Structure 1
Amino acid sequence: MHQLAMDEQKAFPIGADIIKRDFCVDDLISDGSCVQEAVEILKQTSGLLAKGNFKLRKWCSSDATVLQSIPEEDRESLLKFNDGSDITRLTRRSILSSIARFYDRLDLVGPVITKSKISMQDLWREKLD
């Protein structure tokens, strides 16, 4: 993808920068300072990656207008709560990823990390998605 971004830099300058900077393994996490910027990021990254036959899916945004051009099947589903708030779907993988991000050289939050890992074990034991 980095090679594709370099090859298509002139046609998709914003998309190329986003691809080089905001991909982590196979996930793209980026943001814009306004709705128009987020829409432009969406257009350019999708357009650039389409040149290499890559298709981005599981799009998510805190503003629904950003996703208007994205088909429903390519959007990430949200969990709705009784208070009206919503979040993206949590998975064991995303929870494990969050736990793995902790770096506590002084072992100050060790008990919290341990409780998180125990909770993760419970999810595996219960075979919950």
Structure 2
Amino acid sequence: MCTFALQQTARDSQDKFVPEIIEKLTDNVYVDDCLASELNEEKAVSTVKELTSLCSEGSFRLTKWISNSSTVMKSIPPQERAKDVKDLNLDCEDLPSERALGVYWFVQSHTLGFTIKSKLKPDTKRGILSVVSSVYDPLGLMALFILISKQLLQNLHHEQKDWDEDVDSKTHKIWLKDLTLLEDIHIPRCYKPMEFHLFVDASNVG
């Protein structure tokens, strides 16, 4: 219902705002997060103001703003900024990390990354599945790494291992050791104007 009301606000306000701003609201809001990008700071400052005004047309309040630009952040009233930047000295202090849709955005370096909360789990099929499922990767950035442990689970299933049967797997132990290293990987959020080529071959396992 909330999403419908937000979309209806955009439709009802088409005569008051430029199509680009309407599109920002209709195409860049996920649940309660608005994620939008601009090519320069001046445009970003304008977008913040216009989006705030557009949302207020439907009695929605956009708040908890954060940007990798201190210029943009200075244009936003402190009370409307994200919690960790409200009292930040934007002239000399680094911007913090922020979670968006479960992915960590390291604002200062403008990169995406992971924070791993590794808890000891039993070396069983159930324990392995629990650890694998704890790595939240909706963009598939770590798919190749996670695939290793998924292959292990697949093999354990073929071996008809019980969910709570002890598993002595060197592969899993190495994988667990490497898991914490994911925190050292930061991926540039913006890929423009780079060009990518992808080559894929079929596989029986993934």
- Relative to the length of structure 2, the TM-score reads 0.44
1:89-113 deviations in Å (ceiling 9; x for gaps):
459x5569x8141548xx6321589
Which SS does the other structure have where 2:96 is aligned? strand
Counterpart CA distance in 2 for 1:66 and 1:36 is 8
1:99 is matched with which residue: 136, 149, 171?
136
Q: Residues 77-96 of structure 1 correspond to what in structure 2 (within 5 A)?
A: 77-78=84-85, 85-89=94-98
- CA-based RMSD: 3.3
Q: Please, which runs of 5 or more residues in structure 1 have no aligned partner?
A: 120-129
Of the three residues 91, 108, 114, the one matched with 2:144 is 108
In the superposition, relative to structure 1, how do residues 68 and 102 fare at CA in structure 2: closer, same or farther (>3 Å)? closer
Aligned counterpart for 1:37 among listed residues 22, 40, 43:
43
Counterpart residue number, 2:26 = 20
Q: 1:25 to 1:112 in 2, by over 3 A?
A: farther
- For the Cα contact (< 8 Å) 2:68–2:95, is it kept in 1? no
* Alignment CA distance shift 1:48-1:112 (3 Å): farther
Following the alignment from structure 2 to structure 1, what is the Cα–Cα distance between the partners of residues 42 and 139? Answer: 34
2:68 is the counterpart of 1:62:
yes
Of residues 9, 13, 16, the one that matches 1:8 is: 13
**Following the alignment from structure 1 to structure 2, what is the Cα–Cα distance between the partners of residues 21 and 42?**
15
Q: Quote the Cα distance in structure 2 between the aligned partners of 1:112 and 1:71.
A: 46
Name the residue aligned to 2:56.
Answer: 50
Shift of residue 7 of structure 1?
Answer: 1.1
Q: Which runs of no fewer than 5 residues in structure 2 stay unpaired?
A: 1-5, 105-113, 115-134, 151-174, 181-206
2: distance between equivalents of 1:12 and 1:58?
Answer: 23
**Who wins on radius of gyration, i.e. which is larger?**
2
Q: Deviation string for 1:23-48 (max 9, x for gaps)?
A: 11110011110111101211111000
Counterpart CA distance in 2 for 1:16 and 1:109 is: 39
Once the two structures are TM-superposed, the CA of residue 63 in structure 1 deviates from its matched residue by: 1.4
- 2:71 and 2:139 map into 1 onto residues whose CA distance is 34
Aligned to 1:122: none
SS at match of 2:72: helix
The aligned residue for residue 79 of structure 2 is 73
Aligned residues: 110
User: 2:144 is aligned with what amino acid?
Assistant: L
1:25 to 1:90, Cα distance in 2 relative to 1, 3 A: closer
Task: Tell me the distance in 2 between the aligned counterparts of 1:108 and 1:94.
Answer: 17
